[in-house]
A and B are shown apart, each in its own frame.
Chain A
Amino acid sequence: MGHIHFVRLPPTPPWRAVVRQIQDPSAGVRSIATATAAAAADRLDRLREDASLVYCFWLLSRLTSAARRPDFVDSLADVGIRAAPSDTAIVFVARVAELSRRELERHPESSPFGEFASLSLRRALTETVGSEGRSLFGSSLDDLERALAKHATPHRFGEIARRFFGDVLSRTLRFYVEKELSLYVGPGWGLASTAHADAFITDLDRYARQTATVMETFAEEWFALHDFRSGGRIGRDEAQGFVAEALRKIRDELDGRPAA
């Protein structure tokens, strides 16, 4: 490997509480997720207005809307994507990745969360193709467009939004937890081996994605309203409003607060 920068969690009381749970994870992933969200509360609150996160979600919503239009490729130009009908799905996702990366570079204040948003955007697109039983390998731009178009209804847009935010949450939780996890793997620890550690991370990932379900209905309603009002051209302000509310719901779910 090349050089990799590793750090640990700060030795402050909230993070120590997280570390204790990692050392002895018998309380389960939900407890660790809640403790992590509590320790990172200030930073996670600021994500509601994060420019990179808003941008990536906005782009996802616009791509979904564009898939419903007869002029999909031309519509992509509205959001800055240069595509050709002969493109493969992989080329398209790579273009989206590059476009989102360029935007992220304008927002260094997003720190790692900008990167998470861009990766979650890619994953949401890839998973959407996969939801139609296709591999991204060998899929054309047409295949991706068809898969997205099926999700460009209020009911199914919720799925895409859930995939996106579930992935953001999963990466966020893992970002913090993995600053300590590998130190407490082995004989004598609750995670007795690397296999245990991987099972734990799989559980944490699954928990994050299930937690994101809490905003799915809201996503459906939001899309129904704003996609219609904007003629399929949802603006960034609308996207920002959605992100703020979606994250609030997710945070409440993590904290065990009843839904508003």
Chain B
Amino acid sequence: MTELPPRRVLFRCDGAPIPARLGEQRWFDRRHIRSRGDRADLTLKIEERGGTVLTAIRSRSTDLVRIASYVYRADTLVPRAATNDASDERWRRHFALCIPVADLAYWEDPDVQGRLNSALNFGTGDTWEFAFAQATAEFWPLPFSIDPAELYDRPTAVSLFSGGADSLCVLLEAIAKGERPVAVGHWSTDTHEHRQTGLLTDLRRRYPGLAIPHFGFTVQGINQEGPEHTRRTRGFLFASLGAAVASEIGVERVLYGDNGPISINLPLNGQVVGAHASRSTHPKFLERFNHLIAGMFDHPIAVENPLLMRTRPEVLEVLTRTHAQDLLSSTLSCSTWRGRPIATPHCGVCTQCVDRRFATIAAGLEAVDPASRYQHDVFLEDLLDWEARMIAVSYVRFAQEINRLSDDDLLLHYGQLFDALTEDDPQAERTLRRLVELLKRHARSVLDVLATMTKRHLTELVEGRLPATCLLRIAVAGAVVPETGVSISKNLIETLQPEPPVASIPPLKAAPRENEFVFDADHWRWRLTYKDETRTVKSSVNLTRLACLLAEPFRAFSPEELLATAHPNPPGMMDVPQAISEGLGLEHYGAGGFLFDEDSGEFIEKGISGLRAAADAAREKGKDARAAEFEEEIARTKAEWEKGLKLDGTPRPHPDNVTRRPDSMRRSIERAILDIADRLPVLAEHLNDSVSIKDARYAYQPKNGATWRVVRPSS
């Protein structure tokens, strides 16, 4: 097998010269990063929302912000993944950056460079080296609009604000304690900016005596984001921005908040190693970052995480204490938020969404953060995507393990806990004990939520109405034994002998092969098993629809219900070409218009309202082209909406759909069975006997009592 060494990439930033010691080495690639000129590929701007005085940010602050921006850009440009890299050897990269700086003497100090490398190394898992050169005077200053500190009523802290729930709680708690915080945000898109400014506007309304100034940094690639999305340098960037602003406005504290379990980010399962889990607020990263900035500025500045010893539900209690629960729905946690509909900004299955979902239930905040705002219900819906299943199952297993282990065994299994101790902690043992207790509370919280959801959906579990690959079924092993009320998992755990010798452990028996209608995402085929015969069939939307029938035997679907079950993307936000590309077929929408109901209408109205606000914001910032794009989107959405309205303005189904849809659906199901007949005739025969199409209703009604394990494609 070919050795896979770390990728070594040399970056020349804004024309800084490459010294011979770097130039003579072999590099996998040599690239440029430019923040100026026609070939600029990095935008770096600072904006103060409401600032009136333009000044230049000071040298070392500028240097730190620029270094962090180049580092961030470089991080996104070099991919970590490689094919056939079972041992993750391409995960680590080796970066060399040549960077112009204003204070060359400072940055050339080997001690400073060592501390810079150390902070980045821990935060990213990569190796970093730097070569600094003198920046030209006219190039360097970063325009920074800022009111004099007196106009901000003597701010007491910088609060790093991402628009997420935790950073909102940091702000709220600081305000509640009498602090006068300045918010610093980083965004790479208008959506991010819009969200942060919206939340802060809300906060200012609630606290009219506070200005809560907001500095926003735009640090992003121009035209194209890089291929690497893990962005482990984001923590360094964010901390650097906070430190730079703190330096300029004369405050000593930078609040960088994330709850404790996220901050120490222990591996959810054995494949997670080092910086595979993000370390933005890890105590060791913050220790090393603070070591870097010690002595850098005119006054001491330290970045601290006020949420380290709290679980996420405990953090969210801040919202309740400050009567700001309603703000939770405006925060965003999802890591795959781009392109999501406004009504469902959270995917529901990434690590951040899963953790948020559990936390909001534990904190009693479901009313303001309901399941409907998550595109996928991790508890109740199929976890078909491999990553979604990996995350959800590992999340629960992690909590179960933490709950089971004694405090001493926790230290054995999770030696990473020692990394959370800082060198100068005078009470290291007490800190470690508190971290252990924190993890135990986190585990307890997760398991309590699981128990709550199990009780809430007990009837569906017992009746077998939940999909086989939903988290509840996986976590509680299928069903509660009827009449006894005892869970199957409890039975099985009790039958496992404690610590038997290896040789005497009986092999786990394979489950008997049941009938299967399983979508194989890796090969884009369906795997069908019926009466011990297995065949694969090429994927089609027709088979997806048939699978929906098999998943819910004896349920009579209308064409609309079957369509919505098979393809649950909200139709209102989908244009016709996209609908066709996803196989929804024009014939199901008559002449190509949309069928709207009242829910769709409300949804579209909210969407248009959001688009309008975004257009206004873009126009305010002079981004007319962007504003025009938003206006076009509004016009397009309105035109489609109006096609589906009667003269009195109420929604109407397209007349052709009334007759066309049932025929189309019948043909779709029949085609699916024909496709199966070519490969597995005995199954096709069974389906012909069992699928009922009557009065425009479709149902699977097996006379032979056949049951199915159905795995559908992710939506």
Asked if A122 and B418 sit within 8 Å, CB to CB, the answer is: yes
B324 at the interface (CB under 8 A from A): no
Give the residue among A119, A130, A183, A188 with the most B Cβ atoms within 10 A: A188
Q: Cβ of B75: which chain A residues have Cβ within 8 Å of it?
A: none
State whether the Cβ of A7 lies closer than 8 Å to any Cβ in chain B: yes
A221 interface residue per 8 A CB criterion: no
Number of interface residues of A (CB under 8 A): 82
Residues of B within 8 A of A91 (CB): 421, 428-429
Judging by beta carbons under 8 Å apart, are B511 and A190 in contact?
yes
Beta-carbon contact of A90 and B428 below 8 Å = yes
Q: Does A84 contact B (CB under 8 A)?
A: no
Are A185 and B393 CB-contacts (below 8 A) given A2-B262, A4-B277, A26-B510? yes
The answer on a CB contact under 8 Å between A27 and B507 is yes
Known A-B contacts A1-B261, A109-B5; the reply to A196 vs B473 at CB < 8 A is no
Which residues of A are found within 8 Å of B105, using beta-carbon distances?
Answer: none
Say whether B468 contacts A188, CB under 8 Å: yes
Interface core residue of A2, A26, A185 (most chain B CB under 10 Å): A2
B212 to A: closest C-beta gap in Å: 26
- Given the complex, which residues of A lie within 8 Å of B432, measured CB to CB? 90, 137
State the CA gap A8–B389 with chains docked (Å): 12
Residue A174 is within 8 A (CB to CB) of chain B in the complex: yes
Q: A70: CB under 8 A from chain B?
A: no
If A4-B351, A7-B81, A193-B489 touch, whether A115 touches B274 (CB-CB below 8 Å) is yes
List residues of chain A with CB within 8 A of the CB of B511: 187-190, 192
The answer to whether B428 and A94 touch across the interface, beta carbons within 8 angstroms, is yes
- CB distance A186 to B493 under 8 Å? no
Q: Report B488-508 CB contacts with A as 1/0, cut-off 8 Å.
A: 110011001001001001011
Tell yes or no: B411 within 8 A of A by CB.
Answer: yes
- Known contacts A1-B265, A1-B351, A175-B270: A15-B86 contact under CB 8 Å: yes
Q: Contact check, B416 vs A119: say whether CB atoms are below 8 A apart.
A: yes
Distance to closest chain A CB from B460 (angstroms) = 14
In B240-297, which residues have CB < 8 Å from any A CB?
Answer: 258, 261-263, 265, 268-274, 276-280
Is B142 an interface residue when CB atoms closer than 8 A count as contact?
no
Is B94 interfacial (CB-CB < 8 Å)?
Answer: yes
Contact B94 A5 (CB under 8 A): no
**In the complex, what residues of A have CB within 8 A of residue B473's CB?**
186-187
A175 close to B271 (CB less than 8 A): yes
B451 within 8 A of A: no
Residues of chain B in range 328-362 having any CB-CB distance to chain A below 8 Å: 335, 350-352, 354-355
A177 touches B270 (CB 8 A): yes
Is residue A69 within 8 Å, beta carbon to beta carbon, of the partner chain? no
Chain A residues, CB < 8 A from B423 = 98
Whole-angstrom distance from the CB of B279 to the nearest CB of chain A?
A: 8
Could you say which of B86, B88, B269, B419 contacts A39, with CB atoms under 8 Å apart?
A: B86
Query: Do A206 and B502 have beta carbons less than 8 Å apart?
Result: yes
Asked whether A4 lies within 8 Å of B274 as measured between CB atoms, the reply is no
A residues near B268, Cβ cutoff 8 Å: 1, 4
The answer to whether A126 touches B415 (Cβ under 8 A) is yes
Are A42 and B389 touching (Cβ within 8 A)? no
Q: Which of B3, B81, B272, B419 contacts A101 (CB 8 A)?
A: B419
Min CB distance A53 to B, Å, is 14
Whether A190 lies near B391 (C-beta < 8 A) is no
Contacts of A188 in B (CB 8 A): 468, 511, 514, 516, 709
Q: Give the CA-CA distance A127 to B400 in the complex, in Å.
A: 22
Q: Are B475 and A193 in contact (CB under 8 A)?
A: yes
Docked complex Cα distance between A186 and B709 (Å): 11
Q: Decide: A105 and B407 in contact? CB cutoff 8 A.
A: no
Q: How far, in whole Å, are A212 and B381 apart by their CA atoms in the complex?
A: 42
- Whether A196 contacts B354 by the Cβ 8 Å rule is no
| Segment 375-395 of B: residues with Cβ below 8 Å from A | 386-387, 389-391, 393-395
* Proximity string of chain A (42-70) to chain B, C-beta cutoff 8 Å, 1 when within and 0 when not: 11001000000000000000000000000
Q: Are A111 and B89 in contact (CB under 8 A)?
A: yes
- Measured between alpha carbons, how far is A30 from B503 in the docked complex, in Å? 10
Residues of B in contact (CB 8 Å), total: 98
Q: Are A109 and B354 closer than 8 Å at their CB atoms? A: no
**B489 and A108 contact, CB distance less than 8 A:** no
Contact A88 B429 (CB under 8 A): yes
B397 proximity list for chain A (CB < 8 A) = 182, 194, 197-198
Q: How far is the CA of A197 from the CA of B265 in the complex (A)?
A: 21
Which of A5, A27, A126, A175 is B412 in contact with, Cβ under 8 Å? A126
Contact of A241 with B by CB under 8 A: no
Residue-wise interface mask of A (234-248) relative to B, using a CB-CB cutoff of 8 A (1 in contact, 0 not): 000000000000000
User: Does B484 interact with chain A (Cβ within 8 Å)?
Assistant: no
CB distance from A172 to the nearest CB of B (A): 9
Closest Cβ of chain A: how far from B233's Cβ, in Å?
12
B92 in contact with A2 (CB, 8 Å): no
Given contacts A1-B354, A6-B271, A111-B92, contact A193 B476 (CB under 8 A): yes
The residues in A between 102 and 125 inclusive whose CB is less than 8 angstroms from any CB of B are: 105, 108-109, 111-112, 115-116, 118-119, 122-123
Given known A90-B428, A112-B274, contact A195–B493 (CB-CB < 8 A): yes
A12 touches B127 (CB 8 A): no
Complex-state Cα separation, A93 to B274, whole angstroms: 18
Question: Chain A contacts of B92 at CB under 8 A?
Answer: 108, 111
Proximity bits, A131-161, B CB within 8 Å = 1, else 0: 0000111100000000000000000000000
- Distance in Å: Cβ of A98 to nearest Cβ of chain B: 7
B199 → chain A, closest Cβ, in Å?
20
**A210 contacts which chain B residues (CB < 8 A)?**
502
Report if A1-B507 is in contact (Cβ < 8 Å); known contacts: A187-B468, A193-B489, A194-B393.
no
Residue B478 at the chain A interface, CB threshold 8 Å? yes
B503 CB, nearest partner CB in chain A, Å: 9
Chain B residues, CB < 8 A from A115? 273-274
In the complex, chain A residues whose CB is within 8 Å of the CB of B390: 6, 182-183
Per-position binary interface string of chain B over residues 120-144, scored 1 when its CB falls under 8 Å from any chain A CB and 0 otherwise: 0110001100000000000000000
Shortest Cβ gap from B392 to chain A (Å): 8
CA distance A201 to B282 in the complex (A): 27
On whether the beta carbons of B508 and A4 are closer than 8 Å, the reply is: no
Asked if B29 lies at the interface with its beta carbon under 8 angstroms from chain A, I say no
Chain B residues near A195 (CB, 8 Å)? 400, 477, 489, 492-493
Which residue from chain A places its CB closest to the CB of B272 in the assembled complex?
A4
- Identify the interface centre among B121, B407, B433: most chain A CB within 10 Å of its CB: B121
Contact, CB under 8 Å: B492 / A8 = no
One of B263, B394, B411, B522 near A11 (C-beta < 8 A): B522
A112 near B87: Cβ-Cβ < 8 Å: yes
- Please indicate which of the listed interface residues B3, B277, B394, B404 has the most CB atoms of chain A within 10 Å of its own CB: B394
Residues of B near A93 (CB, < 8 A) are 418
Pair B278/A187 contact, Cβ less than 8 Å? no
Q: Which A-chain residue is minimally distant from B6 (CB atoms)? A: A108
Name the B residues within 8 Å of A207 (CB-CB).
502
Q: Any chain A CB within 8 A of the CB of B224?
A: no
**How far, in whole Å, are A174 and B477 apart by their CA atoms in the complex?**
23
Q: What residues of A have a CB within 8 angstroms of the CB of B354 in the complex?
A: 1
Tell me which of A111, A135, A187 contacts B88 (CB under 8 A).
Answer: A111
Write the nearest CB–CB distance from A181 to chain B, whole angstroms: 7
Report B305 CB to chain A, min CB distance, Å.
12
A residues within 8 A CB of B391? Answer: 4, 6
CB-CB under 8 A from B502, the residues of chain A are 29-30, 203, 206-207, 210
Q: Can you offer 9 A-B residue contacts whose CB atoms are under 8 A?
A: A4-B278, A6-B387, A6-B391, A10-B83, A25-B507, A105-B127, A182-B397, A185-B474, A191-B508
Please give 14 more A-B residue pairs, beta carbons under 8 A apart, in addition to A126-B411, A192-B511, A194-B393: A3-B278, A6-B387, A6-B390, A46-B3, A97-B419, A105-B118, A111-B92, A182-B390, A187-B468, A193-B474, A195-B492, A195-B493, A198-B400, A210-B502
Q: Which residues of A approach B to under 8 Å, CB–CB?
A: 1-12, 15, 24-30, 39-40, 42-43, 46, 88, 90-91, 93-94, 97-98, 101, 105, 108-109, 111-112, 115-116, 118-119, 122-123, 126-127, 130, 135-138, 171, 174-179, 181-183, 185-201, 203, 206-207, 210
What are the nearest 5 A-B pairs in CB distance? A174-B270, A193-B477, A2-B278, A122-B415, A178-B270
